[in-house]
């Protein structure tokens, strides 16, 4: 009898030559990591697809939904795997169409990856089509735009038959681009921005600025929950946490109140860039969306951006809040992000933040603080939490410098009160 497998489809556009083999290898590794909780028997490449088979019955059905969320997956189909025996694959075609769901019209789409099978694609279409017409006499065959398509794929000694398939998140496999530092708050936007960069193949290394010691460390646990929620399909290997409260206090005392937020953010960007240099990251990512809050006007973005040389990407700059919320719900971070926690964003906030900062005034305020000393001090005080993530490689070259960033003791999360 046929076994069930997941057939993973990816976009081949732009994936020619060497690039394609590399892409496939990374995607296979990522699928393996994402499916660690399943009993995966094998992950193989077959004729433009990746095939995932399981050693326990029922797992392919469950795994499909997870596979669809892995960056680089354009589509995943729940297929029957049979031998090259007509009775077996025709029977699988009947099952595939039965489980497809409601439909009125259908067609068969057969393909052979090599020509050593005596039946041509046309012969296969006819053979399987006849069996399906007999099994579903009340349904009609329709060549253009049918409700259901039964795919029959002959690859060497095997036949894969499927009708049910779901759309994947698309993009490129995580790790096919380099590292990016992502400024991760526990808000709604930055987890989405982090996810979007991971979907384009980047390995995100988040940096969270907490209000500690001026605020409790609740936000630090929320960002850890966010990292955990993105897994296993999106992997984050290391989260940096920078206790920012004392420096914020110094800035609040020394600078004109309207410019405080800009000063905080200049320091945050600069610290992130330094950590990025240690990590070998090639960009900084934020969850900013134009005009959403005072610090996200064009003038203020410019006033902050000028302190760094690394490119700053803002994948949400043109997004509407509702779109961002929908994506946050889809990737599983929304609920965590709506829990309130004091972090550096809520600390020492001016009553009236400047919305259109003038650069000359920003530069004047910048000189009122020992910004270089603050940046150095915060980089030295940065802590990190590690997670299991095969795509992440900790920095090698500057290991000595890196080891100075003491790993944060993993305190257990407080138990949630019982209702």
Find the DSSP H helices in 215-258. Answer: 218-230, 245-254
For 184, left (φ over 0), alpha (ψ -120 to 50), or beta? beta
| Lookup: tokens for 249 | 């206090």
Q: Which residue is nearest to ligand ATP, using beta carbons?
A: 187
Residue (66 or 188) nearer to ligand ATP, CB = 188
Q: How far apart are CA 6 and CA 220, in angstroms?
A: 37
Q: How far apart are CA 307 and CA 266, in angstroms?
A: 6
Pattern 142-181, binding to Mg ion, x per CB under 5 A? ----------------------------------------
- Taking CB under 6 A as the criterion, the residue among 149, 183, 275, 283 binding ligand ATP is 183
Q: How far is the CB of 402 from Mg ion (least distance, A)?
A: 27
Q: Does 204 bind ligand ATP (CB under 6 A)?
A: no
Q: Does 327 bind ligand ATP (CB under 6 A)?
A: no
The window from 184-192, 245-253, 264-272, 392-400 that contacts Mg ion (CB under 5 A) reads: 184-192
Q: How far is the CB of 172 from ligand ATP (least distance, A)?
A: 22
- Taking CB under 6 A as the criterion, the residue among 293, 317, 325, 381 binding ligand ATP is 293
Q: Which of residues 337-396 bind ligand ATP (CB under 6 A)?
A: 343-345
Q: How many CA atoms lie within 13 A of 394 on its CB side?
A: 16
Q: Does 188 bind ligand ATP (CB under 6 A)?
A: yes
- Taking CB under 6 A as the criterion, the residue among 10, 106, 160, 209 binding ligand ATP is 209
Q: How far is CA 155 from the centre of its chain?
A: 32
3-state helix vs strand vs coil in the chain, percent to 5? 40, 20, 40
- Tell me, by CB under 6 A, how many residues bind ligand ATP: 20
Classify residue 178 by its DSSP letter.
-
Residue (168 or 245) nearer to ligand ATP, CB = 245
Q: Does 210 bind Mg ion (CB under 5 A)?
A: no
Pattern 323-352, binding to Mg ion, x per CB under 5 A? ----------------------x-------
Q: Whose CA is closest to 187, among 80, 53, 291, 289?
A: 289
| Lookup: tokens for 355 | 């919305």
Pattern 61-100, binding to ligand ATP, x per CB under 6 A? ----------------------------------------
- Taking CB under 5 A as the criterion, the residue among 59, 82, 185, 235 binding Mg ion is 185
Q: How far is CA 198 from the centre of its chain?
A: 4
Strand partners, 200: 172
Contact criterion met (CB below 8 Å) for 70 and 30: yes
Residue (47 or 292) nearer to ligand ATP, CB = 292
Instruction: Identify the H or E element spanning 54.
Output: strand 49-54
Tally DSSP H helices, then E strands, for the chain. 14, 15
Q: Which does 127 bind (CB under 5 to 8 A by kind): Mg ion, ligand ATP, none?
A: none
Q: Whose CA is closest to 228, among 197, 181, 184?
A: 184
- Tell me, by CB under 5 A, how many residues bind Mg ion: 3
Q: Does 283 bind ligand ATP (CB under 6 A)?
A: no
């Amino acid at each position: 009898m046929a076994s069930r497998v997941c057939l993973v489809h990816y976009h081949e556009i732009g994936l020619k030559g060497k690039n394609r083999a590399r892409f496939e290898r990374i995607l296979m590794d990522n699928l393996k990591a994402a499916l660690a909780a399943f009993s995966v028997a094998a992950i193989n490449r077959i004729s433009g697809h990746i095939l995932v088979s399981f050693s326990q019955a029922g797992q392919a059905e469950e795994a499909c939904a997870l596979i669809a969320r892995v960056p680089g997956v354009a589509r995943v189909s729940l297929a029957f795997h049979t031998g090259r025996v007509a009775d077996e694959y025709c029977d699988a075609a009947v099952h595939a169409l039965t489980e497809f769901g409601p439909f009125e019209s259908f067609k068969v789409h057969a393909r052979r990856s090599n020509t050593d099978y005596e039946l041509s694609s046309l012969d296969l279409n006819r053979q399987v089509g006849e069996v399906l017409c007999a099994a579903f006499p009340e349904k009609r065959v329709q060549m253009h735009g049918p409700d259901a398509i039964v795919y029959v794929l002959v690859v060497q000694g095997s036949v894969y038959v499927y009708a049910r398939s779901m759309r994947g998140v698309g993009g490129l496999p995580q790790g096919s681009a380099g590292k990016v530092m992502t400024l991760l708050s526990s808000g709604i936007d930055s987890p989405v921005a982090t996810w979007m960069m991971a979907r384009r193949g980047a390995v995100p290394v988040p940096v969270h600025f907490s209000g500690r010691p001026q605020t409790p460390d609740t936000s630090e646990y929320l960002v850890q929950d966010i990292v955990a929620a993105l897994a296993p399909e999106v992997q984050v290997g290391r989260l940096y946490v920078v206790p920012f409260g004392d420096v914020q206090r110094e800035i609040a005392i020394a600078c004109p109140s309207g410019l405080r937020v800009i000063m905080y953010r200049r320091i945050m960007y600069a610290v992130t860039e330094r950590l990025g240099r240690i990590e070998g990251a090639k960009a900084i990512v934020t969850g900013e969306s134009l005009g959403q809050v005072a610090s996200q006007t064009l003038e203020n973005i410019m006033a902050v951006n000028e302190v760094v040389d690394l490119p700053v990407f803002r994948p949400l700059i043109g997004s509407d809040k509702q779109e961002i919320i929908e994506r946050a719900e889809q990737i599983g971070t929304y609920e965590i992000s709506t829990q309130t926690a004091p972090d550096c964003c809520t600390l020492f906030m001016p009553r009236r933040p400047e919305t259109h900062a003038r650069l000359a005034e920003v530069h004047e305020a910048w000189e009122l603080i020992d910004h270089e000393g603050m940046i150095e001090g915060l980089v030295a005080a940065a802590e990190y939490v590690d997670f299991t993530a095969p795509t992440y490689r900790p920095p090698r070259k500057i290991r000595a410098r890196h080891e100075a960033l003491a790993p944060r003791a993993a305190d257990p999360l407080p138990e949630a009160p019982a209702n």
